[in-house]
Chain A
Amino acid sequence: MRLEIKDIQFNYGSVPVLEDISLGIKGGEVLSLVGPNGSGKTTLLKCINRILKPKRGTILVEGKDVTRVGLKELARSLGYVPQSALSSFPLTVYDTVLLGRKPHVNWKLGERDKGIAFGVLRLMELDDMALRLVSELSGGEKQKVLMARALAQEPQVLLLDEPTSNLDLRHQLEVLHLIVDMVKERGLSAVMAMHDLNLALRFSSKIAMVKGGKIYAAGEPRAVLNSGNIREVYGVETTISSDSGRPYIIPLTSTGKTSRTKVVSKRMIREDLTLYV
């Protein structure tokens, strides 16, 4: 197993946000976490990355407990792609991507680091905007820069928080194809929080449905994303059509009885954000 998550529990104060989460993922696999807003997808990603500290449970990357390795060492195996590029200061695309070499470098950047950063830019077709400011780019380009930074870390596992949420149709496909290609070519593993069930269905090798901080169902995408599970997790009636040759989930109506999940606002979680280092 590349990444093993065992019995994770995370609390905000006394409110459990994640309970009994156990998942495993191998090299070459893309695992999508799906579930309603506030179900704990982002929290789980942050626990894996040691941004948040779980109350209980262990997370192993390549067999090593993430709490036992230094932050820097961890950053060499885990690349994190946040939902949006937040920055109040102008930094060029290249300088941003170069930050991905941070965990590998003490002070002086070597030619190798610069080469890797350029390589990633070329791979993502960002090289012609290398010297532009990130703040000048479009949403899709920004997302690609964030991915490029994570790839420059040369991680074994990519953690992506809703990588398609701010993108147009074309960029959604581009970014997801890129993730899947990287995973296949380099034998990486990817864990991504997803909202679009159809994209999750199409691009994942495994899906875990999260509901109220627990895994409701996990396994092969087509088996997990069925009408019954979607009704239970989202409270939405769907029909699954296969007219186009691949299954497509069409939402119909929301059922009256939305199985209410504990929604702990993200803000509250942030308040409690305890980095443990």
Chain B
Amino acid sequence: MASKTEAVEAKEAYAKLTGRKVLFILVGLGGVVALVLVATSLGSADLGVSSVASAIAARIFPFLDLEVSTKVDVIVWGIRLPRVVLGVVAGAGLAVSGAAMQGIMRNPLVSPFTLGISSAAAFGASIAIVLGMGMVGSEKYLIITNAFVFALLAAFLVYGLARIRGMRPETLILAGIALMYFFSAATSLLQYIATKEELQTVIHWLFGSLTGASWENILIVVIISFSCLPFLIKYSWDVNTMVAGDDVATSLGVNPRRVRTVYMALATLITAGIICFTGIIGFVCLVAPHITRMIIGADHRFLLPSSCIMGGLLLLGADTLGRTAFQPAIIPVGIVISVIGVPFFLFLILRTRKEYFQ
């Protein structure tokens, strides 16, 4: 009977561990809501958290008949909330793409940006800014569509190159890094021939910011991310087998090439859908999955949703800081997240058990 009680104990311990992961997700969601309220209340016109909350509630639950002044409603819904919500959504999307890419490549240093996706998007945007040329769309959307199309193009190139050698992570990463250098060089060339104004626009795009946020952008990002996420989650357990190597995955009945292809396509789509609106916000997709893994471990079934939350918190936190710390100046979030994120990340690395990195 002793072994039986031990088994019960082990089961309980595991259930507890799983419970902790679920709790992390719930607390994280609560944190996101709280941060959204605080972030929306901060800015040049001082609004209290409670008036922000009632302004938001008034539109979501019209039957409550809450009283909100038009001024507050305009500031909250027209100005601040789009930026705040885009921060959360973009952070979540970039983080989950990063977690997905790191998983299928078995490499904690990979992100969609290592695969040349960001530099291709930057090149596409630069073409639109400097040469005024684009694939589709009117002038207003030229930068966005160009960035999106070029990001996908880079992924196709990487995929095509890697396919020849059987979709192995090493080939994918090398092909991606090669493309990254190529597109960076091409972007530099465009910067070299650009006029002063064009150059400024390009550089501002490269910083990455949430300035252009609108409900329209958010809708597109949400549609893309939310249609990709279920498929990422569906294969998340398969990715756990791939982390131990393609041979092991195959021996457990998983087709690693197929999962890798699907994941790459989805992660690229999410990333491209975000950075075409925001510019290059790089660090969050590398670091959010790492921080999440340090807290809840590498089981991708939990890691993917948790990374979303962590990414949303990080990006919104960084943007809020960049927006409020040096008022009236606004620091682009791409800069803030690296400046604040890197020391924080290094601190975490130094604190973590060394086994984590073996």
Q: Residues on A close to B: CB < 8 A?
A: 46, 49-51, 70-76, 78-80, 82, 85-92, 94-96, 99-100, 102-103, 107, 114, 118-119, 121-122, 127, 130-131, 133, 135-136, 153, 159, 271, 273-275, 277
Contacts and interface: CB of A to CB of B under 8 A. Distances in A.
A92 to B, nearest CB: 7
A111 to B, nearest CB: 9
Interface in B251-290: 251-258
Contacts of A118: 7, 10-11
Given A80-B247, A88-B106, A90-B356, 17 more contacts: A46-B247, A74-B253, A75-B253, A76-B253, A79-B251, A89-B108, A90-B293, A92-B299, A94-B10, A94-B14, A95-B299, A100-B252, A118-B11, A127-B10, A133-B355, A135-B356, A273-B166
B73 interface: no
Contact of B246 (A127, A135, A136, A275): A275
Nearest to B106: A88
Nearest to A127: B10
A272 B299 CA distance: 30
Interface string B85-129: 000000000000000001100111000000000000000000000
B241 interface: yes
A131 B17 contact: yes
B227 interface: no
Nearest to B250: A51
Interface of B: 3, 6-7, 10-11, 13-14, 17, 102-103, 106-108, 165-166, 168, 234, 237-238, 240-241, 243-248, 250-258, 293, 297-299, 353, 355-356, 358
22 contacts: A71-B255, A73-B253, A74-B253, A80-B247, A82-B245, A82-B247, A82-B251, A86-B244, A86-B245, A88-B108, A91-B299, A92-B17, A99-B241, A99-B244, A100-B252, A114-B11, A127-B6, A127-B7, A130-B13, A131-B13, A271-B165, A275-B257
A103 B252 contact: yes
Secondary structure dominating the interface of B: helix
A103 to B, nearest CB: 4
A82 B248 contact: yes
